[in-house]
Chain A
Amino acid sequence: MEQLIEQCLKKDATAQEKLYETYRKQLFAVCLKYTSSYAEAEDHLHDVFIEIFQKIQNYKGKGSFEGWMKRIAINKAIDKHKKKKVFELPAYRLGSLSDDAHEIYLEMEHIKIPFEKLMEFIQELPNQYQLVFSLYELDGYSHRQISALTGITEGTSKSNLFRAKMNLKKQILEYTNHNHKRLGHEG
């Protein structure tokens, strides 16, 4: 890997392509979580790799290279969300209950949904909910970190997360019910 990074530092096109081939799927999954469509995610992936190749000299070997690239993808996504000004929408007030009180659970008995469909559900979320859900649940950021990165308050972050989960649960249930009806009909 170090050799590949060194060659990329020298702007070697073959090395750049190899790096892309190695990490395209991984980073594309990150891009999909923060965008609204496949086409937009592909554009984002393009921008992310351009930035990686331009700023590769900034990677000093501290931490994993994958983590560094992933952070670029996420930060770039946050920048794009900021440009869209998605944080201005009114937040849902949660009151003073603990985080756990707002946790949403799924009964897994009859839930079988392909991962592509789940990604679609995330992409269909309103931007401000999608961003917080992906940062908190999928990439492990805390509400404090989200607040610092996006400029929204921790309260807004929590309420956005709650609304995102409610929305996702609704979509999952609708999808499951629809499938059950279809299967019952076919049966």
Chain B
Amino acid sequence: MKDKKRIGDFFKESLEEGSFEPNEKVWSKISDTLEKRKKRRFLWMWSSAVVLILGTLSAILITNSDMKVNKNDINGGNTTAIGTESSTSKDKIKREENKHDTIRNSVLHAVKTMDKKKYGPGVPPDKIKSPYQRKPSKKPIDSAGSNYSNLIDKANADFVKKELNDSLDRKIEDSKKPKDRLKKKTNPTEDKKDVKKDTLDKWNISLQFSPVLSGYLTNRNLLLSPSLNRTNERQLSYAFRILFVIPLNEKMKFRFGMGYQEFNYNAQFTPEVTVDDNFGGLMTQNITSPLNPLTQSLTNDFNTSIPISIEHRIRYLQLPIEVSYQLRKGKIDINAISGMDFFVLQDDDVLISSENTPNFLVGRANYLSRLSIAAHMGIGFEYQLSKYVRFQLEPTLTYQFGGYRGRVEHPNPYFIGLYSGFNVRF
């Protein structure tokens, strides 16, 4: 009898007997990815900490500027109402109360003395208009009468105290009234001050997007041999950012935040020699890849007769810090902007493709710095859409320092962005 076996069982048993060994480079690739993710997490934590610190400092700055405004208002007799939380205004009220307490005590003392000298104990003078006033007693004063007159004394004293307190309140009210009158008389100036204070109090947020034109990679991309004939060379880059804006004075604003900057370099080339020679122009020494040399698994897919497309994707986390200064105020405000950025490299992937093979991740370019700085300047145009929202247009030129590692020459480390977006006041 012939030995028969289910085909599924045959496969299962045969495969369980075997052992399959992955390439040694798999672990180094896993290790690289884990390391990369660890660094990325660290960078996010770091950048969050920076933003947090800057935010806290800004809050402190805002609080201090508030206190200065209140102090000035009280000293200069401006519009701040009595009863605000300013320590100076509290001191002033306390001084007024102390002064008044002294007057009140001396009046009470005088009243008591007058009572005893002129009318006998417990009798209030006629001059003081009290609801507890009574005719002078002709009867001798007994102990019970003494208690009664003490009560009357207390009632009179309370009345006087109440009168004096009311008087103090009226005085405080009066002290406000001339300011109100002054406010009405000098309305335009005061309004201006109000607006100024209002502007200084409010911090706001800008959300911006920008297409970016850069001399960053074109013609000089270190991934391709300089002599190589390349076609369809183009870049499509963009950036977006969120900025926290803190007014420092009427014209100057401090802005900081976070952004994302992407550069995509695309080109097509036909290898001039065989794939064994680094794809005839792909400078593999500038690529870190587990597949180096690249010919290992790609020989069949890429050869000299087929054009190869290369894509270099660079992504930066951008941390801008800048100052803007108002040059012209009008329907459209014009500001000069200047500042610096920290650039933290996030991705630096190199992909190639041909008609045989879709996008194939070759590795990472190894000549870009993980961390670099940049200086930027620009002109900002702001158009007020509503009380809280402004439209912004900010052409900006950025120049990067230390974008390339070591002594490698950076080709054109500048980029021009046309940031547009909205500024929202809170």
Q: Which of B23-31, B81-89, B328-336 contacts A (4 or more CB under 8 A)?
A: B23-31
A72 at the interface (CB under 8 A from B): no
B18 at the interface (CB under 8 A from A): yes
Task: Please name all residues of chain A whose beta carbon is closer than 8 Å to the beta carbon of B17 when the two chains form the complex.
Answer: 115
Cα(A17)–Cα(B28), bound, Å = 10
Q: Indicate with 1 or 0, residue by residue over B1-24, a CB within 8 angstroms of chain A CB atoms.
A: 011111111111011011111110
A1 at the interface (CB under 8 A from B): no
Q: Which of A13, A119, A168 contacts B7 (CB 8 A)?
A: A168
A138 and B12 in contact (CB under 8 A), knowing A20-B30, A45-B26, A109-B2?
A: yes
The binding surface of chain A is classed by DSSP as helix
Q: Are B8 and A165 in contact (CB under 8 A)?
A: yes
B34 at the interface (CB under 8 A from A): yes
Considering only residues 4-24 of chain A, those with a C-beta below 8 Å from chain B are: 11, 13, 16-17, 20-21, 24
CB distance from A114 to the nearest CB of B (A): 8
CB distance from B13 to the nearest CB of A (A): 10
B386 at the interface (CB under 8 A from A): no
Q: Are B11 and A41 in contact (CB under 8 A)?
A: no
Task: Please name all residues of chain B whose beta carbon is closer than 8 Å to the beta carbon of A116 when the two chains form the complex.
Answer: 18, 20
Write the chain B residue with the least CB distance to A140: B12
CB distance from A26 to the nearest CB of B (A): 9
CB distance from B420 to the nearest CB of A (A): 35
Q: Are A119 and B20 in contact (CB under 8 A)?
A: yes
Considering only residues 104-123 of chain A, those with a C-beta below 8 Å from chain B are: 104-109, 111, 113-116, 118-119, 122
Q: Which of A29, A33, A49 contacts B30 (CB 8 A)?
A: A49
Write the chain B residue with the least CB distance to A41: B22
Cα(A138)–Cα(B14), bound, Å = 11
Task: Please name all residues of chain A whose beta carbon is closer than 8 Å to the beta carbon of B5 when the two chains form the complex.
Answer: 105-106, 108
Task: Please name all residues of chain B whose beta carbon is closer than 8 Å to the beta carbon of A68 when the two chains form the complex.
Answer: none
Write the chain B residue with the least CB distance to A24: B22
Q: Which of A104, A105, A115 contacts B14 (CB 8 A)?
A: A115
Q: Which of A11, A39, A53, A106 contacts B10 (CB 8 A)?
A: A106
A46 at the interface (CB under 8 A from B): yes
B98 at the interface (CB under 8 A from A): no
B38 at the interface (CB under 8 A from A): yes
CB distance from B347 to the nearest CB of A (A): 16
Cα(A39)–Cα(B9), bound, Å = 27
Task: Please name all residues of chain A whose beta carbon is closer than 8 Å to the beta carbon of B23 when the two chains form the complex.
Answer: 38, 42
A65 at the interface (CB under 8 A from B): no
A13 and B2 in contact (CB under 8 A), knowing A28-B22, A168-B11?
A: no
Q: Are A136 and B22 in contact (CB under 8 A)?
A: no
Cα(A109)–Cα(B4), bound, Å = 8
Cα(A98)–Cα(B10), bound, Å = 21
Q: Are B34 and A50 in contact (CB under 8 A)?
A: yes
Q: Are A137 and B8 in contact (CB under 8 A)?
A: yes
Write the chain A residue with the least CB distance to B35: A13
Q: Are B33 and A16 in contact (CB under 8 A)?
A: no
Q: Which of A17, A33, A108, A119 contacts B4 (CB 8 A)?
A: A108
B64 at the interface (CB under 8 A from A): no
A28 and B7 in contact (CB under 8 A), knowing A11-B38, A13-B34, A118-B14?
A: no
CB distance from A118 to the nearest CB of B (A): 5
Cα(A113)–Cα(B297), bound, Å = 26
Write the chain B residue with the least CB distance to A107: B2
CB distance from B3 to the nearest CB of A (A): 4
Cα(A39)–Cα(B38), bound, Å = 26
Cα(A24)–Cα(B30), bound, Å = 12
Write the chain B residue with the least CB distance to A103: B6
Considering only residues 79-121 of chain A, those with a C-beta below 8 Å from chain B are: 103-109, 111, 113-116, 118-119
Q: Are A105 and B15 in contact (CB under 8 A)?
A: no
Q: Are A136 and B8 in contact (CB under 8 A)?
A: yes
Task: Please name all residues of chain A whose beta carbon is closer than 8 Å to the beta carbon of B3 when the two chains form the complex.
Answer: 107-109
18 extra A-B contacts, CB within 8 A, seeds A13-B31, A49-B30: A20-B27, A24-B22, A28-B21, A41-B22, A46-B33, A50-B30, A105-B4, A105-B6, A106-B4, A106-B5, A106-B7, A108-B4, A113-B14, A116-B18, A137-B8, A138-B11, A169-B7, A172-B7
Interface CB pairs A-B, < 8 A, 7: A16-B30, A24-B21, A29-B20, A32-B20, A50-B34, A113-B14, A137-B9
Interface residue ranges, B against A (CB under 8 Å): 2-12, 14-15, 17-23, 26-27, 29-31, 33-34, 38, 297
Interface residue ranges, A against B (CB under 8 Å): 11, 13, 16-17, 20-21, 24-25, 28-29, 32-33, 38-39, 41-42, 45-46, 49-50, 53, 103-109, 111, 113-116, 118-119, 122, 133, 136-138, 165, 168-169, 172
Q: Which 4 A-B pairs have the closest CB atoms?
A: A115-B18, A137-B8, A108-B3, A28-B22
